[in-house]
Amino acid sequence: MSVLQTIVEHTNVYGGKSQQGREKPWSNISVEDFNSYLALVVYMGLVKVSALTDYWRRSRVYSFPLPAEIMSCRKFLTITNALHLSHPQNDEENEKKKGTAAYDRLGKIKPLYDNIRDACRTFFHPNQNISIDERMVASKARSGLKQYMKNKPTKWGYKLFVLADSLCGYTCEFFVYEGKSPMPSQKGLSYESVMALVDEKMLGTGYKLYVDNFYTSPMLFRDLLHKKIWACGTIRPNRIGFPKTITNKLPRNAPRGSMRWLREDRLLFVEWKDTREVLMCSTLHKAYEGDTVQRRLKNKDGQWSQVHVPIPGAVLDYNKFMGGVDLSDALIGYYKVLHKTRKWYRTFFFHFVDIAVVNAFILHQHLARARNEKPLTQKAFRETLVLELAGLESRKAAPRASKDACHNPTHITDNSTAGRRKCQLCHQKTPIMCATCEVPLCFLPKRECFNDWHRQGGIY
């Protein structure tokens, strides 16, 4: 069973339970309905409005024909309110284990969580340079999974540890931080998170990994070398294993570009003076290979000038390859589909859609270049994706008829209750179709899809 079928099944079970005792019973959704729902979710990342219902408003200010063509507003909101990733029965059993080691804090986002991680690992093999960093997913929902990070633009939200390709920003692997473990590791969170993401059996060897000072430690870098993975990153001076020698220590007023280094077996420690002191640790660089970087310096007369100052290769490559996760975050941020929700697991659902779309866009870029074709922009890619998910690429387009053309409503069959079909615009059942276009359309006082359809065709 595909993951979409699983989500549809669980959503139907949850929707049926939540509407027990109500006047209107729950109407099961299909995989096709969910594909249309996903199309609208991606579309809403392209076109932003203040309220979801504005997409279906018929006014001069809000005139979006596509959402109504894909799905009715009522059906979209119904699916949104019933969206459930795990089986409700499994949730009940998991809740009974709360407070014990057997309790799964991420139970409500499975199986999509496992499926999206498998897909990230399966469909793309990263280039040699990779990076690891944290990602914050904003949320105002009340959940014990939420974290606070003062140095991130998004300070409150769910924290993910992400392994990304440094060149294209593809999310290769990630996991959700669940909070402090009742049995803390002796090697620390930073060490364990890197080892969890860098699986040499799945990823392979020969990679160059870039991390910031939260992760960098001599013990981690030595253990990565045993896996045949090189590493480079900024390092904190209070890390266990950092050299304490003060021989040839740079003075506080050392000129920009000054450096000193120390090598311990395969580990290189570099101290470099820029506007402030920069400390690096690397297992793949030489201390200095003659590289320079431009900086603006003020001379004694108060005039600014461009000068070339020496720079260690470790700093140069770190600045070049550390931004893989930031690039991935930027690609997601342009058109992210995140909606306000009180359910924490739905926040993750929208973020997983973001990851899947951006990764698919990066794959499209690689395949297009391999065929010597010009790849689509991310905006054009998402526009195409919306139409394909909604099945509008193969659907009959609105007619571009002349003003003199005759378009009359007629019954689909002789029996108004039998043989009804889905309306082309609102997708509700209708016994009416256009005699000329042969398209099923509603023709009721509150649903004049017949007139709306032909107005879109340029008849009036």
Least confident of 87-96, 180-189, 340-349, 450-459: 450-459
The β-bridge partners of 273 are: 277
pTM: 0.81
Compute the distance between CA of residue 163 and CA of residue 169 in angstroms, rounded to an integer: 9
Q: What is the pLDDT of residues 96-134, one digit of tens each?
A: 988 888 889 999 998 899 999 999 999 999 999 999 999
Contact 256, 275 (CB under 8 A): yes
Burial class for 305, CB neighbours closer than 10 Å (0-12, 13-18, 19+): exposed
pLDDT the model gives residue 446: 78
Amino acid code (one letter) for 271: E
Grade residue 445 by pLDDT with cuts at 50, 70 and 90: confident
Q: Which two tokens stand for residue 196?
A: 């969890």
| CA dist., res. 397 & res. 456, Å (int) | 10
**Rounded to an integer, what is the distance from CA 155 to the centroid of its chain?**
17
Strands 156-165 and 292-298: unpaired
Contacts of 264 (CB under 8 A, 6+ apart): 218, 243
210: tokens are 């870039």
pLDDT band (50, 70, 90) for residue 395: very low
Adjacent-strand bridge partners of 161: 134, 175
For residue 279, the cross-strand partners are: 271
Read off the pLDDT of residues 205-250 as tens digits, 9 standing for 90 and up: 999 999 999 999 999 999 999 999 999 999 999 999 999 887 778 8
Please enumerate in sequence order all residues whose Cβ is within 8 A of that of 85, keeping only pairs 6 or more positions apart, or say none: 7, 10, 108, 109, 110, 111, 112, 113, 345, 349
Peptide bond into 111 cis (omega under 30): yes
Maximum CA extent, the chain: 97
| pLDDT reported for residue 460 | 33
pLDDT greater than 60 at residue 1:
no
Residue with tokens 């998991």: 94
**Confidence (pLDDT) at 396:** 46
The percent of residues above 90 in pLDDT, for the chain, comes to 55
If you ran DSSP here, which 8-state letter would residue 250 be given? P
- The better pLDDT of the pair 310, 446 is held by 310
Contacts of 33 (CB under 8 A, 6+ apart): 8, 71, 75, 79
* pLDDT score at 298: 77
